[in-house]
Amino acid sequence: MKKILFLIILMVTVTFNTADAHIEISNSWARLIPNGTGALFLDIKNSHSESDILIGASSPSANSVMIHKTQRKNDITHMKHLMKGINIPAEGEVFLKPGSYHIMLSGLSKNLKLGDKIDVILEFKNNDKITVQPTLKMKPPFIKN
């Protein structure tokens, strides 16, 4: 009986440990476009043995926030709205970067200017919400492969 109890305690402990944050966000920045739209770029790292999904995002500074992917089709570049979000593979990384995945910000507050920071809340299926504070820029702050 004692052995079983010990096992249960061990299992509960392990479960609590897996409830820790497994999603890590880095290199976030946002492109501010003069027409009042913007695009948020960042790296998402999942250290968990299960995949996750970025299912949505919101911001107090934008009327509409959507997950997009820039695609090239028949020599035409267009943005696809990813209704099902972005899959973040187990123990994997996904890069939101120009020409690929990004978070589209529409109807940004009119008083925003380059250098300002905005709050964007990222919503994951299997993890807690994460707030990022990207700085508004015109160009990427770093070069990525």
- Residue ranges in contact with Cu ion by CB under 5 A: 68, 79, 104
Q: Which C-beta is closer to Cu ion: that of 48 or that of 56? A: 56
The distance of closest approach from Cβ of residue 86 to Cu ion in the complex, given in angstroms and rounded to an integer, is: 13
Closest to Cu ion by CB, 47 vs 63, is: 63
* CA-to-CA separations, 43 to 7, 17, 69, 78, 94, in angstroms, rounded: 38, 24, 15, 22, 6
Question: Looking at beta carbons, which residue is closest to Cu ion?
Answer: 68
To Cu ion, the closest distance from the beta carbon of 18 in angstroms equals 34
Q: Report whether 20 contacts 119 (CB < 8 A).
A: no
CA distances from 115 to 12, 64, 66, 125 (A): 46, 21, 22, 31
CB of 68 to Cu ion, least distance (A): 3
